[in-house]
Amino acid sequence: MISIDNKLYIKDIDTYIDPFFPVERAIITHGHADHARAGHKHVLCTPETSEIMKIRYGENCASSFQTIKYGHSVKIGKISVTLYPAGHILGSAQVLLETPKDRIVVTGDYKTILDRHLDPFEVVPCDLLITEATFGLPIFKFNKPEMEIERLLDNISKHRENTFLIGAYSLGKAQRIIWLLREAGFSDDIFVHGSMDKLCDFYQSKGIRLGTLRKATLDNKKDFKGKIIVAPPSALKDRWSRRFENITRCYASGWMQVKQRAKQSQIEIPLVISDHSDWNELTNTIKQTGAQKVWITHGREDALKYWCEKIGIQAEPLSLQHRDERNEL
Amino acid sequence: MKAFSNLLSDLILTSSRNRKLALLEQYFSSTPDPDRGYALAALTGSLNFKNIKASFFKDLIKEKQDEHLFDLSYDYVGDLAETISLLWDQEKSGNMPRLSYLFENLKKAKTDELKNYIINILNISTGDQRWAFIKLFTGGLRIGVSSRLVKQALANYGNVDLDEIEKIWHGLHFPYINLFLWLENKGSKPKISIYDIFHPMMLAHPLVMEKDLVTANPKDFVAEYKWDGIRVQIVSHGEGCRLYSRTGDEVSNSFPEIIKTIQGNFVLDGELLAGINNDPKTFNDLQQRLNKKAPSEKFIKKNPCFIKVYDVLFFNGDDLRDKTLIERKKVLNSYFSTNRSPMFLSETIDFKDWRFLDKIRDISNKQIHEGVMIKLVSSPYIAGRPRGKWFKWKRNPKNVDAIIMYAQRGHGKRSSFYSDYTFGVFNKEKELVPIGKAYSGFSDEELNKLDKFVRTKTINRFGPVREVEKTLVVEIAFDEMSLSNRHKSGIALRFPRFKRIRWDKPTNEVETLEQIRKSFLE
């Protein structure tokens, strides 16, 4: 049996998955800050994730990187580690830990619906599934993102005098939104917040076409009418956003499914676009992996645990302390 | 329905008052009668449909969705209509019929058809439409739009004064055809008989001593006791008398002995109190009466009531609302020069300076008043809460320390926060017993901290309720403490709210139940 604990520490090979504190050996599922931290000694991840970590934390953010492509394995001690696409952001991976006797899959963050700018999610059969549950309530059922983009574009065409400020995480969500806009035929220049232009360049270098991007600096102040600016969610309420006139605040996130939440954060155009799985994706994935045991990490564990037990799957919540609900907005 | 659900969705996501007004005006101008009348009734909280209540929809969704998963979802979303609209799966694409058609069908449907009709409607409509539809039945839209804002939009739309609309509002009839004709200059202003309707009351602001009294001259004001009963409007004419509560609900049926006795042509404003012969008893005594919708004669004899009158709006056909308070008081004084039991004139308090009043408001005479009212003598009677005219100066609140025991999420705007707290103190057996619940008095920042406390210190969950570690002391302010056999602690607090959060205070320094009872009840 592979021994893994509730901190995602694998004792047999002295390795953590997505640890929040510096460790000797870490497997990193993807580049978001609540999964990828600087300061580990040896990091195992996909080539894209290592590049992202270096962009965000500097070349020396870990003493050494070992990268493997999707579907490839490395053997550490008696355990074979394989990374599979998770469909969350560029480079995001699920981790399969395998011995001849058992198979454990740690999904990291994932979504299963088709997102053509990423490698599609793969179902990896296993005995123990350690799944995320960010949107682990049956109220979360996401529409096609194309419909949300269409609604946004419709709104822009009706209010050309406004500036449309879209809150989206700097890594992954921002690039996906821009890519979706381009796919929908939006060819205007798009302005981006200073914190995301390197990451946009990185996506472009991987062949994901984001069109002409400009920095949302004050020199361009006059050009913002009827235009889209993409910025991290925190900048939406920040002083930074005061430089623009007639702002319509938009926010791309699964949380926007709940109108009351959108209202609380004073969002006028909620875009229900998520890089996480909704309720149906979560429950389908659990069924498809054939797992007999499920551990549930950060999110609304209660409902998913209840659902698992109802169909005879053993389920356990893992409370990973550093991921609390505050990350929502 | 599509237009209406779009309107609601846009309104809930708009924070600017001007944009909200524009959205409403746009809707009124582009929507035909009687649909806009239905919408107006819904937006002002006067659309009623007796056969369908919130529980109807709860039952519907529980047939489709596991009950526990529904509870968890509802707990998270905090809004019933939104929870159900999100849990419901759309089966076919389509739209709900227009509002008026929908309601006609609901009215026509027999009880056994109603359920299937609604299921079918929910099946074919979009999430936004389901949300807007269910909201019509769950009481209170909670979309950040007050009735007053809607009336302001009407005023803007018809280019008339808001006050003109307020004055006739309660005499208007659904679906407001006459109102819209008038606003669109196609008809005359609807005629309202003053004795047929409730007239919006004039309300007071809480007094802030440093701000309101520094420059005020006591000579410009009259003072009265702030009676601890319920505010009523007495509308009387040849054909009888009606009583309305502060919000315009008719409460006549609860007080048959009073409306039977009152005669005359007038609209008066006063306080309904328990007691007899102008001798008031406590609010608790009145509570007995308020709970009974149709009291028996025996019950009435045991729990008599009377009214202290302090203002007059109409008298013998004259509208006195534009007269000054002094002139209105003169009318009252002369009317009450003869015995008008069960109505009595509410006495004014003679005072020379504010300090004197300050003392009076704290002297509690068996808890029958809760402070004093201060009114500007030169002020007309203005519906709503005008600035600088009437002030309520409540008795200083009492304070007690207590320990947080349970927490629950709030609703609507606060649905993501644990904002409703149950607190308690130790009894003789060293057992912590709850003494009340509070939802207010903290800042947004403090709420954030409290919320975090609850999330990290939860030791037990009972459905939506979380039991927390008994470590946090809060100072609770309250207006009154009374004996109560409905609570384990044996006491009940009136209007408890947070005063301070005592992050530093150890729980063993909190006074016990016995000590509290001694200091507040004996």
Q: What is the CATH number of the domain that holds B505?
A: 2.40.50.140
d(CA A245, CA A162): 8
pLDDT for residue A46 is more than 80: yes
CB contact under 8 A, A139 and B77: yes
Q: Are residues B227 and B344 in the same domain?
A: yes
Q: Are B13 and A138 in contact (CB < 8 Å)?
A: no
With an 8 Å Cβ cutoff, are A260 and B455 in contact? no
**Coil vs helix vs strand at B373:** strand
**Residues of chain B with C-beta less than 8 angstroms from the C-beta of A269:** 13
Q: Tell me how far the alpha carbon of residue B85 is from its chain's centroid.
A: 27
Contacts of A142 (CB under 8 A, 6+ apart): A113, A254, A257, A272, A273, A274, A278
Token representation of residue A94: 């699920």
- Is residue A220 over pLDDT 90? no
Same domain, B375 and B442: no
| Same domain flag for B267 and B339 | yes
- The alpha-carbon gap from A76 to the nearest alpha carbon of chain B, in Å, equals 37
Q: What is this structure's pTM?
A: 0.78
> For A231, phi and psi rounded to 5 degrees?
-145, 155
Nearest CA in chain B to A263: B13
| DSSP output for B52-113 | --HHHHHHHHHHHS-HHHHHHHHHHH--HHHHHHHHSPP-S---PPPHHHHHHHHHHS-HHH
Comparison of pLDDT for B184 and A242, the residue scoring more:
B184
CA separation for the pair B442, B499 (Å, rounded): 7
Q: Taking CB atoms and an 8 Å cutoff, what residues of chain B touch A260? A: 12, 77-79, 82, 412-413, 415
Cβ of residue A138 closer than 8 Å to a chain B Cβ: yes
Residues in chain B closer than 8 A to A140 (CB atoms):
86
Residue B176, in any domain of the structure = no
User: What DSSP line would sit under A151-163, residue for residue?
Assistant: HHHHHHHH-TTSE
Q: What is the pLDDT of residues A139-164, one digit of tens each?
A: 999 999 999 999 999 999 988 899 99
d(CA B187, CA B39): 21
Predicted confidence band of residue A328 (pLDDT cuts 50, 70, 90): very low
Distance from CA of A143 to the nearest CA of B (A): 11
Backbone angles phi, psi at A89, to 5 degrees: -140, 180
Q: CA A295 to CA A106: how far, in whole Å?
A: 9
Q: Which structure tokens are listed for B491?
A: 């006491």
Chain A positions in Cβ-Cβ contact with residue B73 (cut-off 8 Å):
137-139, 303
Residue range A174-181: mean pLDDT, rounded: 98
Measured at the CA of B483, the angle between CA B477 and CA B484, to 5 degrees, comes to 105
Mutate to test the interface with B, among A147, A259, A319, A329 (most CBs of B within 10 A): A259
B412/A260 CB distance under 8 A: yes
What residues make up the domain containing B420? 398-521
* Cβ neighbours of B416 in A, within 8 Å: 261, 264, 325, 328
Which residue, of B347, B366, B394, is where some domain finishes?
B394
Residues from chain A contacting residue B69 (CB–CB below 8 Å)? 137-138, 303, 306-307
Predicted pLDDT at A329? 33
Identify the pLDDT of residue A201: 96
Closest residue in A to B69 (Cα–Cα): A303
Q: What token pair was written down for A43?
A: 């990091």
Residues B262 and B294 in one domain: yes
Sole residue written with tokens 């809607």: B150
Decide whether A9-139+276-328 matches A145-271 in CATH topology: no
Please determine, for the modelled complex, whether the ipTM score is greater than 0.90.
yes
Q: Closest-CA residue in chain B for A262? A: B13
**Of B363, B394, B425, which residue constitutes the final position of a domain?**
B394
Angle, CA of A196, A197 and A199, to the nearest 5°: 70
* Residue pair B160/B138 in contact by the 8 Å Cβ criterion: no
User: Which pLDDT score is estimated for B367?
Assistant: 61
If 0-12 CB within 10 Å is exposed, 13-18 middle and 19+ buried, where does residue A316 land?
Answer: middle
Measured distance CA(B462)–CA(B405) in Å, rounded = 13
pLDDT at position B142, please?
84
What residues contact B452, with CB distance under 8 A and at least 6 apart?
Answer: none
CA distance A137 to chain B (A): 6
Q: Give the closest of B9, B76, B144 to A300, CB-based.
A: B76
pLDDT band at A325 (very low <50, low <70, confident <90, very high): very low
Chosen domain end from B360, B394, B428: B394
Looking at the structure, do residues B333 and B438 belong to the same domain, yes or no?
no
Residue A324 above 60 pLDDT?
A: no
Contact yes or no for A260 and B87 at CB 8 A: no
CATH class of residue range A145-271 = alpha beta
Are B124 and B93 in contact by the 8 Å Cβ rule? The answer is yes
pLDDT of residue A177: 98
Does any CB of chain B come closer than 8 Å to the CB of residue A142? no
CATH number (3.60.15.10, 2.60.40.10, 1.20.140.10, 3.50.50.60) of A9-139+276-328 reads 3.60.15.10
Residue A318 CA to residue A321 CA, distance in Å, equals 9
Q: How many CB atoms lie within 10 A of CB B80?
A: 20
Instruction: Give Cα separations from A110 to A84, A130, A134 (angstroms).
Output: 11, 12, 10
The answer to whether B9 contacts A300, with C-beta atoms less than 8 Å apart, is no
Looking at residue B228, its pLDDT comes to 87
- Whether residues B387 and B405 share a domain: the answer is no
**Using the beta-carbon criterion (under 8 Å), do B86 and A324 form an inter-chain contact?**
no
CB neighbour class for B390 (10 Å; exposed up to 12, middle 13-18, buried from 19): buried
| E strand map for A187-292 | 190-192, 213-215, 228-231, 247-252, 269-271
Selecting from B9, B68, B415 the residue whose C-beta is nearest the C-beta of A306 gives B68
Asked if residue B23 belongs to a domain, the reply is no
In a domain, B380, yes or no: yes
The span from the CA of B243 to the CA of B198, in Å, is: 9
pLDDT band at A79 (very low <50, low <70, confident <90, very high): very high
Q: Which of B69, B72, B416 is closest, CB to CB, to A264? A: B416
CB B277 within 8 A of CB B306: yes
The answer to whether B83 faces chain A, any CB pair under 8 Å, is yes
DSSP per-residue letters across B106-147 = HHHS-HHHHHHHHHHHHHHS-HHHHHHHHHTTSS---SS--H
Band (pLDDT 50/70/90 cuts) for residue A30 is: very high
Same domain for B442 and B359: no
Does residue B376 share a domain with residue B315?
A: yes
- Listed in sequence order, the residues at least 6 apart from A323 whose beta carbon sits closer than 8 Å to its beta carbon are A34, A297, A298
B472 and B366 in a common domain: no
Nearest to B69 among A264, A266, A303 (CB): A303
Mutate to test the interface with B, among A260, A267, A283, A302 (most CBs of B within 10 A): A260
Q: Does A209 touch chain B (CB under 8 A)?
A: no
Q: Per-residue confidence of chain B (522 residues) as pLDDT tens digits?
A: 899 999 999 999 998 899 999 999 999 999 999 999 999 999 998 887 877 888 999 999 999 999 999 999 998 888 899 999 999 988 888 888 999 999 999 988 888 899 999 999 999 999 999 999 999 998 778 888 988 899 999 999 999 999 889 888 888 988 999 999 999 999 999 988 888 889 989 999 988 877 787 788 999 999 999 998 999 999 998 888 999 998 888 889 899 999 999 999 999 999 999 999 999 988 878 888 887 878 899 999 999 999 999 999 999 989 999 999 999 999 999 999 999 999 999 999 999 888 888 888 877 655 678 889 999 999 999 988 888 899 999 888 889 999 999 998 877 666 678 889 999 999 998 999 999 999 988 988 899 899 989 988 888 887 778 899 999 999 999 988 888 888 889 999 988 999 999 998 889 889 999 998 888 877
Q: What is the DSSP letter of B280?
A: E
- Closest alpha carbon within chain B to A258: B77
Residues A175-198 have a mean pLDDT of 95
Q: Torsion over CA of A22, A24, A25 and A29, rounded to 10 degrees? A: 0
Residue B175: cis peptide before it, omega within 30 degrees of 0: yes
The rounded distance, in Å, linking the Cα atoms of B163 and A95 is: 67
Subunit contact A259:B82, Cβ cutoff 8 A: yes
Q: Say if residues B275 and B282 touch (Cβ distance below 8 Å).
A: no
**Structure tokens that stand for A71 in this block:** 């579907």
What is the DSSP-derived secondary structure letter of residue A144?
A: P
Contact assessment for residue A184 and residue A150, using Cβ atoms and an 8 Å cutoff: yes
Alpha helices in B255-324 (DSSP H): 256-261, 283-290, 297-302
Q: Are B69 and A138 within 8 A, CB to CB?
A: yes
> Three-state SS across A74-109?
EEECCEEEEEEECCCCCCCEEEEEECCCCEEEECCC
Chain A residue numbers touching B91 (CB-CB < 8 A): none
Q: Which residues contact B395 (CB under 8 A, 6 or more apart)?
A: B361, B362, B364, B370, B371, B479
Report yes or no on B105 lying in a domain.
no
For residues B372 and B404, state if they share a domain.
Answer: no
One domain, residues B380 and B417? no
> Chain B: residue nearest A305 by CA?
B69
CATH number of the domain encompassing residue B338: 3.30.470.30
* Sign, Cα dihedral of A94, A95, A100, A103: negative
User: Which are the contacts of B339, defined by CB distance < 8 A and separation ≥ 6?
Assistant: none
Q: Establish whether the linkage from the previous residue to B280 is cis, with ω within 30° of 0.
A: no
Question: Does the residue B339 lie in any domain?
Answer: yes
Count of domains for chain B: 2
Across the interface, whether the CB atoms of A258 and B66 are under 8 A apart is answered no
Contact by Cβ (8 Å): B82, A260: yes
Q: Which of B9, B72, B86 sits opposite A257 (nearest CB)?
A: B86
Domain boundaries along the sequence of chain A? 9-139+276-328, 145-271
**Domain assignment of residue B246, yes or no:** yes
Residue B228 lies in a domain: yes
Amino acid at B247: T
**Rg of chain A over all Cα atoms, to the nearest angstrom:** 20
Q: Are residues B373 and B252 in the same domain?
A: yes
Structural domain contains residue B308: yes
Return the H-helix or E-strand segment holding B492: strand B491-494
Whether residue A84 lies within 8 A of chain B, CB to CB, comes out as no
Cα–Cα dist B24/B149, whole Å: 9
Residues of chain A in contact with residue B13, where contact means CB-CB under 8 angstroms, are 259, 262-263, 267-270
Rounded alpha-carbon distances, angstroms, from residue A80 to A12, A13, A103, A180, A190: 12, 10, 10, 37, 44
Instruction: Sort out which chain B residues have CB atoms less than 8 A from A258's CB and list them.
Output: 76-77, 82, 86
